[in-house]
Amino acid sequence: MFAKGFSTAHLECALSFAELGTCIKKSGGPYIYIFEAFGPLPAFVRVWVEVIVVHPAAIALISLTFGRYLLEPFFIQCEIPDLAIKFVTACGITVVMVMNSMSVNCSTRIQIFMTFCKLTAILMIIVPGVMQLIKGETQNFKNAFVGKDVGLMGLPLAFYSGMYAYYGWSYLNFVTEEVENPVKNIPLAICISMVIVTIGYVLINVAYYTAITAEELLLSKAVAVTFAERLLGNFSLAIPFFVALSCLGTVNSGIFGVSRMVYVASREGQLPEILSMIHVHKHTPLPAVIVLYPLTMIMIFTGDVYSLLNFLSFARWLFIGLAVVGLLYLRYKRPEMHRPFKVPIIIPALFSFACLLMVTLSLYSDPINTGIGFAITLTGVPVYYLFIFWDKKPKWFRTFSDRVTTLLQILLEVVPAEENIS
């Protein structure tokens, strides 16, 4: 029931973003949609939270999964040391950051390869699962949800966790300006990807239950490895390798997409100017790519990433819900706007209501974590007024800022996009 609800909700969100991506042909995803609909303050708060905590934490979490799965075959008989996972994770993130800094084509080719690895891993899990079903291995499905009623107060956590599994499609809207023929390709890519992801996600979970009980699944730290050990025999070692590469592909797409959001926010004057500059030879937004690196490393080695995501999951979905509300507002405010792809108004209305309802409910179900996340989000307001809105800054501050920008330009070999030279 929940899987059906999450896939339906994400389909509504995806279709809404398809309309936004075809009528607002700028990169930046939810940030630029909020900016166009509601102005600079809420848009800045969105990019502020995303840059300082949400995305570094998300990258760290997925990368730690990469590190665990990559090391799993070498520690079959014992627990993997946390330091080893963190070290491998840091190496993986460093490689992805370097690739995104070196060449757009290189990061694109890597993403294609990682997607192939992801689909391979999915098929290696689904096919044995289907064979198990044919054999009649359905005992783990009986009473699988008995005693697992989440209740009303558990809905926000279930909502955030379920929606997180489907969120990858949204990165396409972060790079709208780099998509060929976005009016046609954005809706097409979103619709196709949602169908593939939904079918794959459901079938993988069904496959797991043909060999693993619900209790064993919750206790396993690497579910795909547990599944492979029981059904794939000598081929089981391939699963953690492909899953690890799949996670690295997710990190790559996340860095590629969010760096474009940072680039656009800087171009709009809401982040330091250096972040909207590109490398003079490689033509990549180098500063926007590497700005996430130090924060991600700090979270991997010192932070409780899971707590950070719990704090700020509500913030991510608050602003995604706000972006979809922006679609409704733009329908009213700018009816003349050209909309090559237009969804029935009931779709964004239902999603925005459900999303904002879950965000509001989380304030009651988990007031401490949500309150901390809300407080972190609100720190963006004074930062906006102090550094963005206030245009009469002291001369010493402007001089210092200009010197830092010039120094970073020299060190990174970057220039404003309009001055880019080969």
- Tens of pLDDT, residue by residue over 152-174, are 556 666 666 666 667 767 777 88
Please check the confidence at residue 340 and state whether its pLDDT lies above 60. Answer: yes
pLDDT band at residue 146 using 50, 70 and 90 as cut-offs: low
- Give the model's pLDDT for residue 257: 84
Q: Which of 7-21, 56-70, 366-380 has the lowest mean pLDDT?
A: 7-21
- Give the model's pLDDT for residue 34: 93
Mean pLDDT of 394-416: 90
Please check the confidence at residue 64 and state whether its pLDDT lies above 80. Answer: yes
Mean pLDDT of 332-338: 88
Mean pLDDT of 292-311: 76
pLDDT band at residue 422 using 50, 70 and 90 as cut-offs: very low
- Give the model's pLDDT for residue 69: 84
Percentage of the chain surpassing pLDDT 90?
A: 15
Please check the confidence at residue 390 and state whether its pLDDT lies above 70. Answer: yes
- Give the model's pLDDT for residue 149: 57
Separation of alpha carbons 252 and 144, rounded Å: 35
CATH class of the domain comprising 2-419: mainly alpha
- Give the model's pLDDT for residue 3: 47
Q: Please, are residues 350 and 43 in contact by the beta-carbon 8 Å criterion?
A: no
| N- to C-terminal Cα separation, the chain | 55
305/406: higher pLDDT:
406
Mean pLDDT of 170-180: 81
Q: Please, are residues 278 and 285 in contact by the beta-carbon 8 Å criterion?
A: yes
- Give the model's pLDDT for residue 87: 92
- Give the model's pLDDT for residue 328: 92
Separation of alpha carbons 168 and 193, rounded Å: 9
271/109: higher pLDDT:
271
Q: Which of 186, 168, 169 is nearest to 177 (CA)?
A: 186
Q: Please, are residues 223 and 217 in contact by the beta-carbon 8 Å criterion?
A: yes
Mean pLDDT of 300-325: 77
- The domains of the chain are located at 2-419
- Give the model's pLDDT for residue 40: 92
| Mean pLDDT over the full length of the chain | 83
Please check the confidence at residue 94 and state whether its pLDDT lies above 70. Answer: yes
Please check the confidence at residue 384 and state whether its pLDDT lies above 90. Answer: yes
- Give the model's pLDDT for residue 2: 45
Q: Which of 106-110, 307-311, 314-318, 396-400 has the lowest mean pLDDT?
A: 307-311
Q: Please, are residues 343 and 16 in contact by the beta-carbon 8 Å criterion?
A: yes
Given the structure tokens 């307001």, which residue do they identify? Answer: 381
Separation of alpha carbons 388 and 127, rounded Å: 54
Q: How many CB atoms lie within 10 A of CB 66?
A: 25
- Tens of pLDDT, residue by residue over 264-292, are 999 988 999 899 998 888 888 899 889 88
Give me the half-sphere count of Cα atoms (radius 13 Å) on the Cβ side of residue 249: 20
279/6: higher pLDDT:
279
Helix (H, G, I), strand (E, B) or coil at 258: helix
- Give the model's pLDDT for residue 104: 78
Separation of alpha carbons 313 and 58, rounded Å: 10
- Give the model's pLDDT for residue 311: 63
Please check the confidence at residue 421 and state whether its pLDDT lies above 50. Answer: no
151/2: higher pLDDT:
151
- Give the model's pLDDT for residue 78: 76
Please check the confidence at residue 131 and state whether its pLDDT lies above 60. Answer: yes
Mean pLDDT of 61-83: 83
Q: Which of 138-147, 198-207, 224-233 has the lowest mean pLDDT?
A: 138-147
